[in-house]
Amino acid sequence: MKALRQSGTKRRKTLVDLLGGWAKLTLAAGIIAATLIPGMAQEPKPDPAGIVTGDRTTVIDAGGNAFVVTEPTDRNTPDYAQKKKDFDEFQSQAAKEPLAVKLADTVGHVRVATNFAWTLNTGYLVLVMQAGFALLTCGLVRKKNAGHLMMLNFAAYVFAFIAYYAVGYAFQFGAVAVNAAPTNLGGTPTLNHFLLGSGLWGFLGGKGFFMAGPAYDAGSNVYALFEVVFMETAGYIIVGSICERISFWSFLLCELFVGAILYPVFGCWVWGGGWLSQLGNTMGLGHGYVDFAGSTVVHAVGGFCAMALSVVLGPRLGKFGPDGKPRAFPAHNLVYVVIGTFILLFGWMGFNPGSTLGATDLRISVVAINTNLAAVSGSATAMLFWYMKFGKPDITMACNGMLAGLVAITAPCAFVGPASAFTIGILAGLVVCVGVLFNDNVTKIDDPCGAISVHGFCGVLGALCLGLFADGTYGAGWNGVGATSYLGHAGMGVTGLFYGDTRQFLVQVMGAGICAAWAFGATFIVFRTVNAVKSMRVSKEVEQEGLDVPEFGLLAYPEDAMHATSVS
């Protein structure tokens, strides 16, 4: 993420500017790496009490300009004279007004505190989405598996959380301060080391295992809370595809895999300051790969992981007839489906606007309205599509359409205007309808809740739409690119193809493709192997009976079984 990375990246960008050129970039990467290797330089200290985080250096005006002017270091830059003058002016003013500088420390602390409150509370909203997913997926399956679905959803939160706590967070954000410091939250300066790669080519974070040591820090813990619930979303998505046939033990393995490896690795590349986010600096590709709140980082990772698992498991018994024709297994509770969808919509109001990591970024209102617009246009499209094609609108597809719009707007929500958001929702509504029919009739991949179409296909669509519709009004200096001007305009932010930046679209295509390939490929290899050692499916008899009793000893609706048991 996200906007707050800007000023962190600006500092490094200055260095890049100074050096310029390819050969010197490599040198710069080396220097940065050298200064960041633990032990070689003085390490920043974590702030578990939260009393040091936020001071005069975190006072930043609406335009992103810092209150404290730092001393320019390289005399060879063309604007050195101007920068030195600004610095001297600040120094003399600070000397004249020491009280103002002291006050700025408090202002900076309050600014960070405001952003803490925003980020934590939007994180809690995202947490509520887990309840939405549980209701949605449970409602969409057959009654005999309802208890099993609820247990999968519940265990997903618990086990994926543990995996993310142990290693996932460190893999994803262990080097976030190198290229993408969340300055709105104080910058988390202690998370500064790549385990694999360095500088602009980071592949895996390497600090903060078990959220201890450098990650035992107030700013880092806000970030951890917000990010862990995002990871949980990816962890929940897979339930929608693998349910009604997966055994509990193998599901736990899937969740540990998602929380520890699959999600954090791609997350590091895009949000942790990793190589995909830096392609603007290294290869001149727009602002690097941009995904504001996770169309790909969260949803496509979950969706394509779900697809791979569904392929490994095979379809549910009887899903496809002898002639290959798909059969309907109608949802057992449409009330759950609709309530679950609305809870998800509500949670998304944390997911997207919260991804600014700060209420001091007033773009949050645009993000919120864009998110809602895509939700309604996606749902309307899916309803009308089904109405015209099958004569009746399908309630479950109307809900899938809303989620499709939400997934697709998640990446571009901060960079587009309302009209584009509405259009993106329409595209997502079409993609999800075609995707569900395509999986049922062409690929024959059984996807009981439509997770592959909603999260996988529409996640990729979201990343591409950012590359098309981003209008340049927001995101100046994103990923360390174009801090002063972009495409010849001062203050120009992330820009898509329709607004003049072809390279941004190219890098979006590339990043989304890599996301799908990584999520599908890694999952497929790992779980194809697991499945070869021991089948991940329950037995045929268990699947026919329903998984509730064989796996957990009780039906979701036990009165259904009373005729078969002694109740006197």
Site of interaction with another protein (CB under 8 A): 325-331, 390, 392, 394, 396-397, 436-437, 440-441, 450
- From residue 386, alpha-carbon distances to 273, 329, 406, 434, 436 in Å are 42, 18, 19, 10, 11
DSSP type of residue 38: B
Q: Which is nearer to another protein, 267 or 435 (CB)?
A: 435
What is the CA 502 to chain-centroid distance, rounded? 24
Q: Which is nearer to another protein, 66 or 382 (CB)?
A: 382
**Nearest distance in Å: CB 331, another protein:** 7
Q: Which is nearer to another protein, 149 or 436 (CB)?
A: 436
CB 466 within 8 A of CB 424: no
**Nearest distance in Å: CB 536, another protein:** 25
| Cis status of the peptide bond prior to 389, with omega within 30 of 0 | no
Q: What letter represents residue 30's amino acid?
A: G
**Nearest distance in Å: CB 440, another protein:** 6
- The H or E element containing residue 329 is none
Q: Which is nearer to another protein, 13 or 245 (CB)?
A: 245
The rounded distance, in Å, linking the Cα atoms of 438 and 77 is 56
End-to-end Cα, the chain, rounded Å:
60
Q: Which residues pair with 66 in a beta bridge?
A: 60
The rounded distance, in Å, linking the Cα atoms of 358 and 115 is 4
Q: Which is nearer to another protein, 441 or 535 (CB)?
A: 441
**Nearest distance in Å: CB 307, another protein:** 17
Strand 194-198 vs strand 201-205: parallel, antiparallel, or unpaired? antiparallel
Which tokens is 10 given? 């600006």
Q: Which is nearer to another protein, 227 or 394 (CB)?
A: 394
Q: What angle do CA 236, 216, 48 make, to 5 degrees?
A: 125
**Nearest distance in Å: CB 146, another protein:** 17
**Nearest distance in Å: CB 18, another protein:** 57
**Nearest distance in Å: CB 559, another protein:** 17
Q: Which residues pair with 498 in a beta bridge?
A: none
- From residue 288, alpha-carbon distances to 11, 172, 275, 357, 475 in Å are 17, 18, 9, 20, 12
CB 471 within 8 A of CB 421: no
**Nearest distance in Å: CB 322, another protein:** 15
Q: Which is nearer to another protein, 59 or 140 (CB)?
A: 140
Pick from 5, 357, 49, 55: nearest CA to 217: 49
Q: Which is nearer to another protein, 369 or 437 (CB)?
A: 437
Q: Which is nearer to another protein, 39 or 321 (CB)?
A: 321
**Nearest distance in Å: CB 392, another protein:** 8
The rounded distance, in Å, linking the Cα atoms of 429 and 17 is 43
